[in-house]
Amino acid sequence: MTDLSSFPDGFRALVIGASGGIGAALVTALDANPGCAAVHGLSRRAGDGHGFIDLDDEDSIAAAAQALTPLGPFHLIINATGQLHGDEVTPEKTWRHLEADRLLAYYRANCVGPALVAKHFLPLLAKPEKAVFAALSARVGSIADNHVGGWHGYRAAKAALNMMIRNFAIELKLKTPTAIVIGLHPGTVETALSAPFRGMVKHEVFTPETAAGHLLSVINRAGAEDSGHQLAWDGQVIAG
């Protein structure tokens, strides 16, 4: 069981994207933690006790935040959504494959949606105790760490999300100094997002349960000095 003792006993948590591989594993892990009084899940596929949210619709995001306000405040909010491939998008191997609609789809899924989640859910963070807003990002969103190129739209959208996280951390520090905003890189995980590309991976691939444990451990160790940064599954700070 992951140590979450940096949060107050009886803390409340929220996972957005709770029907995804990592999101579902996070809900399960938090639900099993004796220090967590309640964990709520939101997803586009509502059910199994999850509430509904559609990150393509700001009205839906606002409604979900309003519905959960009486159940807060929350000490931990995790946005576990993102898109690498789908009906509208596949990673580009060269600039010759760039298309405006594909770029916008990546930006909507990986930056705009999570940013609007932050807009409506950051006010639900607890204070003055430790409170964390975390969003799944990706190492490939690091400009300094990009040595192979490709995947233009996904990389650019995650880089934009990383900038949003930095901005939110700066603004939130002025209002709630004990709150922390971080991006999380889970590594390669056995989920639908990574499925078409796992054959190319030479490093370890984690189960969703293992990945959830890693991320919660990083969150537990995170302090004010980490706010605004991107942290890898092993706790290392990823260059911007």
Element (H, E) at 211: helix 208-221
Task: List pLDDT tens digits, range 62-102.
Answer: 999 999 999 999 999 999 999 887 666 788 889 999 999 99
CB-CB contact of 121 with 77 (8 Å): yes
For 87, the token pair is 């009906």
Domain ranges of the chain: 11-148+158-184+212-238
Integer Rg of the chain from CA: 17
CATH architecture of 11-148+158-184+212-238: 3-Layer(aba) Sandwich (3.40)
Q: Which residues of the chain have pLDDT under 50?
A: 195, 197-198
Burial 37-66 (b: 16+ CB within 10 A, else e): eebbbbbbebeeebbebbbeeeebbebbbe
Determine the straight-line distance between the first and last CA of the chain, rounded to whole angstroms. 31
pLDDT score for 198: 46
Q: What sign does the CA torsion over 174, 180, 185, 189 have? A: negative
* CA 148 – CA 69 distance, rounded (Å): 44
* CA 129 – CA 81 distance, rounded (Å): 26
Is the pTM higher than 0.95? The answer reads no
